[in-house]
Structure 1
Amino acid sequence: MKLWGGRFKQEESKLMEDFNSSLSFDKRLYREDVKGSIAHVSMLVKSGILKKEEGKVISDGLAGLLEDIEAGRLEIGGDYEDIHSFMESNLIKRIGDLGKKLHTARSRNDQVAVDMRMFAKDNAKMLEGELQELLDTIKKLADANNVIMPGYTHLQRAQVVTFKHHMMAYYSMFSRDKKRIANAIEILDESPLGCCALAGTTYDIDRKHTAKELGFKKPVENFMDGVSDRDYLLELCSCFSIIMMHMSRLSEELILWSSQEFKFINMSDEFSTGSSIMPQKKNPDAAELIRGKTGRVYGSLISLLTTIKGLPLAYNKDMQEDKEQFFDSLDTVTACIRVMSGMLSTLKVNSENMKKAVKYGFLNATEVADYLVNKGVAFRDAHGIVGEIVIYCEDKGCAIEELSLDEFKRFNPVFENDIFEFIDYDNILKKGIKKYL
């Protein structure tokens, strides 16, 4: 059964029928479709458009459909155009012609719009929870490993930091991501139900009632915008892309740190794979897949932006293309967050290797320059002096702190014994990062 066709003389081509169908992917909206329809029926009864007894039969029929789908007694499929026609057709089969009254004062345009908003809102809230799990995992890992390590710029050892401070940088990133998701939910929290096709309906309906029933803070203000707005999907896909960018950056560091060249961390076997030819290999494939899937999520965002960019108001069939992109982006980012949480909760930190990297990275060179400045040397002159000290240490094969006071004085006579306390790494941390923790 089609929900349209009265003005057509010819049957739809089978080719067009298949091309037009969205049931294979929008069947995912079956819960939202039932929920939205029950709220719509409640409003029709309240507004006197349906009798109370009619509303009960239709609502019970819809609830029965949902129950049977959830229990596996009714499979979503067949030659239906979309989830909306599937639901309405099966409702009519169950309760008869009364089911045909369900669509009174409603269009598929506002029906799909409200379904997608509910789906997006509920799953965005779910993702907030997943992000909080990730944040908790990062915090736990950071607190358990407050050990010194090199901090990098240009992927070159720069200054001493702690593993905790490094990981808490990602905590800050994912905290912002969670706020972005919350902000997107706040903006999308309006109901388009009652907009109908684009200009409302002549029936005296109560849009505030359906908005309240469905958990929205209010109805949308403009009907044309209500049925054609996909900003909330674009915003969420943008949030997903930023989340993936942050996870990709973290994945890149985990991949580097787990290499034999770094040996800063050991990845759990649970989130690693091996080689079919090289038995010694332990590959950080979980992190690599997260890094790779980032491009996939970016692609969904760009696809959606491109789909929407040239559309006139109001609804256009192009908008059917929003679902697959959003669903895939949502599924991908959710899976990646869960894998990242698992990966971080099981990895081991090699603190001794991190300390060794600090020792021979001249990471207290900046502090030597600061020491000279405190003794009255101009910073530019101090910078040049310390550069010469680093060259000297490289040639000698030692760390700066291993120099004797006499060696320091060769470069400038202002050096005294207090230089050793000044450039001690624990003291550097106390003066720098630790006082902000």
Structure 2
Amino acid sequence: MPVALAYEDGTIRIDGRHDSLDGLPFVERDDRTDTYRAPAYRYPDLRAHLETFDVPVEDSVPDWERISVRSDYVLRDYQRDALDAWTDARRRGVVELPTGSGKTVLGIKAIESVDQSALVVVPTVDLLVQWRDELDAEFDCDVGQLGGGTQELEPVTVSTYDSAYLRADELGDHFGLVVYDECHHLGGEGFREIARFSAAPARLGLTATFERPDHAHETVETLVGDVVYRLSPDDLAGDHLAEYAVKRVDVPLTDEERERYDDAQGTFVEYLRTSNLSFSSGSDYMELVKRSGSDPRAREALLAKQEARRIVSESENKIRELERILDRHRGDRIIVFTASTDLVYRLSERFLLPAITHETNTAERRDFLDAFRDGTYSRIVTANVLDEGVDVPDANVAVVLAGSGSEREFTQRLGRVLRPKDDGGRALLYELVSADTAEENVADRRR
């Protein structure tokens, strides 16, 4: 008796009784319909399992179509190795490459190699436009767009994670390949459904920073595949990315700042000593925030921690050191990263720097970046907006005035200056750290 497979409600409905289904861990009995069910992302595994038992299958799942597209890109050696590794892994898995190493090109060549309807999922509208422009330029076919005010579905389509999540059930059987750009976002609780509901046999995750502090990358591995190829900035520096150096500058607090910092940090540490919180993980911070709603001492400690962090992030000597760096690199293209929007605007006013924050609208941000690209502006200041998901023009100097202990954030900021330079010059990242403060531990963690 044949087994019939159909896509339904983000699952694979299995009609027909066969002993091979018994004990299959991802197949469950649906007593309501007298059928079996499997998560849609398990479709390739289900087909492979049934083939080993030589079971006749009537398969109506694939709603994708064959396409024939070709691009003019020629892969570099490491890009070819990455594509081969992904192909050898049954076209499932994650490729981790540094910012500026050509992950978009790799995704385009993957679409070319699969020759089936393809969906590219991206985290921001900026990347949505960037990917659509690239695909329009490379492929002789209509390119659809879901997001940014447009809802056009084509055999090759680019979507934001938000739009793909809202239409996950509809898109689940429509594409034979899904490319997840910045795929660490797929670990988010809602975004996981994009991959869970997809029956696509081919899945490619692209990222510069795969592992997440909350270990949600393990879920991404289940839904997309393991990391099949990985290179660091050091692996590509000199040949395909700029040679680079990271220069840490320890900056002392002023006497007045030191007094305020010691007082605030002392209040925070004293609370920790009696509260059974160690701040060894992000969950401890959330626990402190939770307690601050009902415990006056916890609220005092939380406010003290925030004040101590503000003092070390925005110290006057850091700003003076930044002034020296800007003067020293008058002929360079510089991106200054801070940890707060308020400081972005203060630095913008003090040094006449174009400021890009979450408050900057899309058109204005694009104008700033275009002016940075053509040399009208040689320096910009931002908080977290340019860490990822935005096509940032080439720079050769970055200054991290303040940041978190996240290795991902640091790697992304470094990646903003790693694209090869026309003159073969070296990239430089300055890391300003308030000496003899908790910020030293934060800097050590992210490195």
Same fold (TM over 0.5): no
Higher strand share: 2
Shorter-normalised TM range: under 0.3
- How high is the TM-score relative to the length of structure 2? 0.23
Higher helix share: 1
- How high is the TM-score relative to the length of structure 1? 0.24
Larger-Rg structure: 1
